[in-house]
Amino acid sequence: MQIGTSLTHCLIEKQQAHPDASGEFTLLMNDIVSACKVISSYVNKGNLIGILGSAETENVQGETQKKLDIISNDVFTDTLMQGTQVAALASEEMDDVYHLPANAKRGKYLCVYDPLDGSSNIDVNVTVGTIFSVLRAPEGVENPSEQDFLQPGTTQVAAGYCIYGPSTIMVLTTGEGVNGFTLDMDIGEFKLTHPNITIPEDTKEFAINMSNQRFWDAPVKRYIDECLIGKEGPRGKDFNMRWVASMVAEVHRILTRGGVFLYPIDSKIRAQGGKLRLMYEANPMAMIVEQAGGMAITGPERIMDIKPHKLHQRVPVILGSKNEVQILSDYHKA
């Protein structure tokens, strides 16, 4: 694929490479693209149309929802419901599986999504994004249940995110590498701008919320302490620290120039299993990172090997440049 090729054209080319393809996946991706364009427009307008601030409600996670959380969820859900490619949907912002109307045609895919990741930053104009994952629906099931969604990350058909920053960029993998497409606002089309993204194996940059330092387990403390000591310590090099509190922004930086992102288990969140959602955040981001040559673990195990046990399950997340994540993996096994 050449720089400047439209995302639509790239999807059609991929479809043509599989003679048995029905075109259903291409249509689903077009719906996802359409939803992200609408959300991008809302994010860019912000308080010009009065959509910033709290909605004064909570989602199933117990988190306060922003107005844009609800709007983005409605946009994504309604857009995917208009097509015939999905059998059911699941969102971080909805308590349960979202079923299609009784008379609606069922497709062969399930879609899970975080419609506006990092929304706590929206009121201060910091980068946010949408994360999504596509799974296969069980054959012959009229209304897929929560259990049908509980597939390990290794079964994902596709995963991606759309980042709403100075430019709107969609990053996508279908299991054959990772590509990035920038939205050309003048023509309303995503164009290939970041082909064959590869994460550098080594890095001098890490991202973690240092305010939780006193709660960390020993392997993470050891790793961060060694980074902070710098070239005078066992690592022999100085590190920079970053923290945006938006997973999309953190992962996008890692895909662009390398690094490690950590939201590890700690004593404060141990009872809930972690902070980030396995289905909506960890699995899709793990697929993207691994397809770009990086690693994604909870600490002791590979994220995509986890067999989910509930829709809103939380897990620890450590991902990024392969050699650094491997060190963290080794420390957890020591």
Residue 139 among known ligand-binding residues:
no
Residue 120 among known ligand-binding residues:
yes
Residue 20 among known ligand-binding residues:
no
Residue 119 among known ligand-binding residues:
yes
Residue 226 among known ligand-binding residues:
no
Q: What is the 3-state secondary structure (H, E, C) of the chain?
A: CCCCCEHHHHHHHHHHCCCCCCCHHHHHHHHHHHHHHHHHHHHHHHHHHCCCCEEEEECCCCCEEEHHHHHHHHHHHHHHHHCCCEEEEEECCCCCCEECCCCCCCCCEEEEEEEEECHHHHHHCCCEEEEEEEEECCCCCCCCCHHHHCCCHHHCCEEEEEEECCCEEEEEECCCCEEEEEEECCCCEEEEEECCCCCCCCCCEEECCHHHHHHECHHHHHHHHHHHHHHHCCCCCCCEEECCCCHHHHHHHHHHHCCEEEECCECCCHHHCCCEEHHHHHHHHHHHHHHCCCEEECCCCEHHHCCCCCCCCEECEEEECHHHHHHHHHHHHC
Residue 6 among known ligand-binding residues:
no
Residue 117 among known ligand-binding residues:
yes
Residue 238 among known ligand-binding residues:
no
Residue 328 among known ligand-binding residues:
no
Q: What are the binding residues for Mg(2+)? A: 92, 114, 116-117, 281
Q: What are the binding residues for substrate? A: 117-120, 209, 275
Q: What are the binding residues? A: 92, 114, 116-120, 209, 275, 281
